[in-house]
Structure 1
Amino acid sequence: MSGDDSRPLHIRRDGFGPAEDLRSAGPLTKITIGEGAGAETSWLAANHAVVRQVLGDHQRFSNRRRWHDQDEVGGKGIFRPRELVGNLMDYDLPEHPRMRQKLLPGFTLRRIRRLRPYIEQIVEERLDALEDEGSPADLIEVVADEVPGAVLCELIGVPRDDRATFTQLCHRHLDPSLSQRKRAAAGEAFSRYLLTMIARQRKEPGEGLIGAVVAEHGDAATDEELRGFCVQVMLAGDDNISGMIGLGVLALLRHPEQIAAFQGEDQAADRAVDEMIRYLTVPYAPTPRTAMQDVTIAGQTIKEGETVTCSLPMANRDPALLPDPDRLDVTRDPVPHVAFGHGVHHCLGAALARLELRVVYSALWQRFPKLRLADPEGETAYRLTTPAYGLTSLMVEW
């Protein structure tokens, strides 16, 4: 079991799925998040129907948190920490659609498709590095932790000479092994770099996300909003995709009969990626929702001001969503899973994530058709202290 009973219930995992004590929770139950003076009580939504209802109800549930005593329930007011300016997950209607509209030029299907050659290039470079490392090698260190940051830098428009430093700052900002002071310092340096780059691209818009937003919206997108957009893209995309690459490879190595889906047509690979995203669901939960009024769901009354934490892994393992949900079956037809969220806050980068994973899984087995675990009986090193579930290492040989 990879969980830890001292951890909040909604982030406990067992192998690829939710931990048993999370599975035994009802559709809607009270949990405690945090310890001591910082502990908070929240409702936990733990089935597909309830999660979709909460995430889709933008009239009665708010994404905003209260950051100041003068804020109203749901965080309505002028008090928003600087680090959340531009973070779409902290905006409600009608602000959210206006903010999301500003980002859309960076996520058009044409722009995502244009990234495919670069994604293929960076994946091939990392597979070259894996081969150079020699068998056995750590797939997490060489591939899973390197590909997402490089792709996101290309998306945002970070100059290639700056990318190693830029991704290092991002990783340090997320690294739970570092002190809060060191993580904060990395975050400040990360923000300073972004603001410098934004100023430069206002004069000469580039081909990336910042350039596209500046070209389309000009000063209507403020520097702080652009900075926040980019921070959100990096923090969400890097950890989630790294987790999916590592866990996905491990899942396929343990279910070798499923690998063929990535050795044929794109349509089969697309279906397989969607099933793996559902089956693994590396994000634990989106931003907690705050009830704007008393709401009755699943026979429980959620009082105004109370929060609901939505377990995405539990929702995606709900038998009401699909038969035999604990079985990985890459030939399944796609189901309306919630790994990318639901409603107006559905992940803007979902298409990019799917493309990136399809390229990684397909290229890996094309290059290493005999890929296998270096120590099949060894203990799996699950990653338990980062924002998204994953692996700390995965030793493979070929």
Structure 2
Amino acid sequence: MRNFRSLVADRLVRIHLARLRRSRRGDGGLGETLLPDSLSMALRRDGLEPVADLDRKREAAPVIRAARWFGVNAWLVTGHDEVKAVLGRAGAFSNDFSRLVERAGLDAGAHPGGLGFSDPPDHTRLRRLLTPEFTMRRLERLAPRIQEIVEGRLDAMAEQTGPVDLMRAFALPVPSLTMCELLGVPHANNPEFQRLSVAHFDVSGEPDEVLRAASTALSHLMRLVRQQRESPGDGLLGMLVREHGDEISDRELAGLADGVLTGGLETTASMLALGTVALLADPVHLRLLRHEAGGGEVEWLVEELLRYLSVAQVAFPRFVRHDIDICGVTMKKGDLVVCSLSGANRDQSLGPGAERFDPTRRVAARPSHLAFGHGIHRCIGAELARMELRIAYPALARRFPAMRLAVEPHEIPFRKLSIVYGVESLPVLLR
């Protein structure tokens, strides 16, 4: 089973890298046809830093009417308190993806499903089914396997000579294999499952192309769901079928699996790669990790990296349900709202020097970061991601204490414009 899962994870890595190569059109993964410049600013960066315009906008006005998008007023929210106010008011804002499909004149049947694109009561019902599997108590059972995955990838890296692409060799395989363990990939799985990681973030073309890709991915997952209906496995999908089979449709189950797979792969892979870039900028950071016995210092460092990097740069777009005042600004029913998580996490309300990465930062008495979002749509896999990062960073630092970039920082191929920020590759020298 594990050999098979390794093959699946390797295939996911290859697909991910192929997608990045296909999207190398100067936009790094999000077509200019989809976003006006005033909104795409929230997805642009200078290395690890959000572009200066985003900071200036937040300082001047944390809530602005940015553009007309798909025939509605589009607002960009960049302040920490303002983003939290929007994300925390599910009754005032809708995540229903069909609203955007309707506004854009797209195929109404191409709904990606999942928690991120649904409203209560459907969202409440579906999240209730998933939540027990994502508590720390349940996730602890995965910790030994994650440790094995990490050590296995480090062993494979140690056998290589010359520069190693950390993205291909480590950052992508670790969450890929973890997702396979979590979902429970069956032994007799077919090749369709191996193409699922392309669905949510390959948005380099026209909107219809994006929806067709998501629809294709869902159809492949539907086949896997039907297999699980017939013979439930030991993973998350099998559990949902056994315990809640009559409460959830095949389409809903496929949507949940799609969200878990794509969200858990892309974001954690980007965190592992970008976090390594941030840590390599100062040898002191890596020394802290090597000598830490696995307690509080690693936890603080991971939280600071999550805040500073904010790889999920924006929250899912929301539609205003009724006229509402947000921090002194009136939004009208039907308006669209884009919340910048990377902007909110650099807000000075989180403490002085929020624009800098400081692994010694202590934030217990300050507002919490919003890297995982906020409110009912906060990332359900947050604790799993934290577990992977807390295991992976120290293990990497201890195994390769002399690791350094194989290219100059400005030569790292960062994504130019992407919902989930990251790199196409990360060449490092291990010794």
TM class by smaller structure: 0.7 to 0.9
State the Cα deviation string for residues 305-353 of structure 1 (Å, max 9, x = none). Answer: 1111100001000001222102212232345111101011111000000
TM-score, normalisation: structure 1 = 0.87
After TM superposition, give the deviation of residue 201 of structure 1 in Å: 2.2
Structure 1 residue 331 and structure 2 residue 363: aligned? Answer: no
- For 2:208 and 2:160, the matched residues in 1 are separated by 34
TM score, norm. by length of structure 2: 0.81
Distance 1:350 1:42, change over 3 A: same
Matches of 1:358 and 1:164, distance apart in 2:
32
Q: Is residue 21 of structure 1 aligned with residue 53 of structure 2?
A: yes
- Mapped contact 1:247–1:390 kept (Cα < 8 A): yes
Give 3-state SS (helix, strand or coil) of 2:414's partner.
Answer: strand
Report SS of the residue matched to 2:246.
Answer: helix
Whole-angstrom distance in 2 between the partners of 1:163 and 1:391:
29
2:330 pairs, out of 301, 314, 335, with 301
Aligned to 1:76: none
1:274 has 2:300 as partner = no
Mapped contact 1:155–1:208 kept (Cα < 8 A): yes
In 2, the alpha carbon distance for the partners of 1:208 and 1:308 equals 36
Q: Per-residue displacement from partner, 1:277-304 (whole Å, max 9, x unpaired)?
A: 0010011111112111211223321111
- Secondary structure, aligned partner of 1:382: coil
What is the alpha-carbon distance in structure 1 between the residues aligned to residue 157 and residue 192 of structure 2? 21
User: 1:157 corresponds to which residue?
Assistant: 184
CA distance in 2, matches of 1:144, 1:290: 34
1:58 aligns with 2:90: yes
Contact 1:170 1:187 in 2 (8 A): no
Q: How far apart, CA to CA, are the structure 1 residues paired with 2:339 and 2:176? A: 27
Match of 1:230 in 2: 257
Counterpart contact for 2:115–2:127, Cα < 8 Å: yes
Distance in 2, matches of 1:146 and 1:180, equals 29
The residue type paired with residue 357 of structure 2 is: L
Counterpart of 1:108 (choices 135, 147, 155) is: 135
Secondary structure class of the residue paired with 2:127:
helix
SS of 2:67's partner is strand
Asked if the contact 1:157–1:207 (Cα under 8 Å) also holds between the matched residues in 2, the reply is yes
Q: Who is 1:322 aligned against?
A: 351
**Cα distance in structure 2, aligned partners of 1:48 and 1:361:** 27
Deviation at 1:272, TM superposition (A): 0.9
1:9 Cα offset (Å) = 1.7
Distance in 1 separating the partners of 2:218 and 2:99: 21
| Greater Cα shift, 284-293 or 50-59 | 284-293
Structure 1 residue 385 displacement after superposition: 4.2
Residues 1:291 and 2:320 are matched in the alignment:
yes
Given that residues 169 and 186 in structure 1 are in contact (C-alpha distance below 8 angstroms), is that contact kept between their aligned partners in structure 2?
A: no
Amino acid at match of 2:372: F
Shift in Å at residue 250 of structure 1? 0.3
Is the CA contact (8 Å cut-off) linking 1:127 and 1:364 kept in structure 2?
A: yes
Instruction: Tell me if the contact between 1:247 and 1:391 (Cα under 8 Å) persists in the aligned partners.
Output: yes
**Structure 1 residues 218 and 172, CA gap change in structure 2 (3 angstroms):** closer
Alpha-carbon distance change, 80 to 338 in structure 1, aligned in 2, over 3 angstroms:
farther
- Aligned counterpart in structure 1 of residue 342 of structure 2, from 290, 308, 313: 313
Tell me which amino acid in the other structure corresponds to 1:347: C
Post-superposition Cα deviations, 1:102-153, rounded to whole Å, max 9, x if no partner, equal 1124323233111112211222222222222322111112111222222111
Q: 1:294 to 1:142 in 2, by over 3 A?
A: same
Unaligned runs of 5+ in 2: 1-26
Gaps of 5+ in 1: 74-78
Residue 281 of structure 1 aligns to which amino acid in structure 2? S
CA contact (8 A) 1:8 1:32 kept: no
More displaced 10-residue stretch of structure 1: 311-320 or 117-126: 117-126
Instruction: From 185, 188, 212, give the equivalent of 2:239.
Output: 212
**Residue of 349, 373, 393 corresponding to 2:381:** 349
Give a deviation string over 1:82-120, Cα, whole Å, max 9, x none.
5333x1122223332211001124323233111112211
> Does the alignment pair 1:83 with 2:111?
yes
Q: Among the aligned pairs, what percent are the same residue?
A: 38
Aligned residues of 1:258 and 1:329 also touching (Cα < 8 A): no
Contact 1:246/1:391 (CA < 8 Å) preserved in 2?
Answer: yes
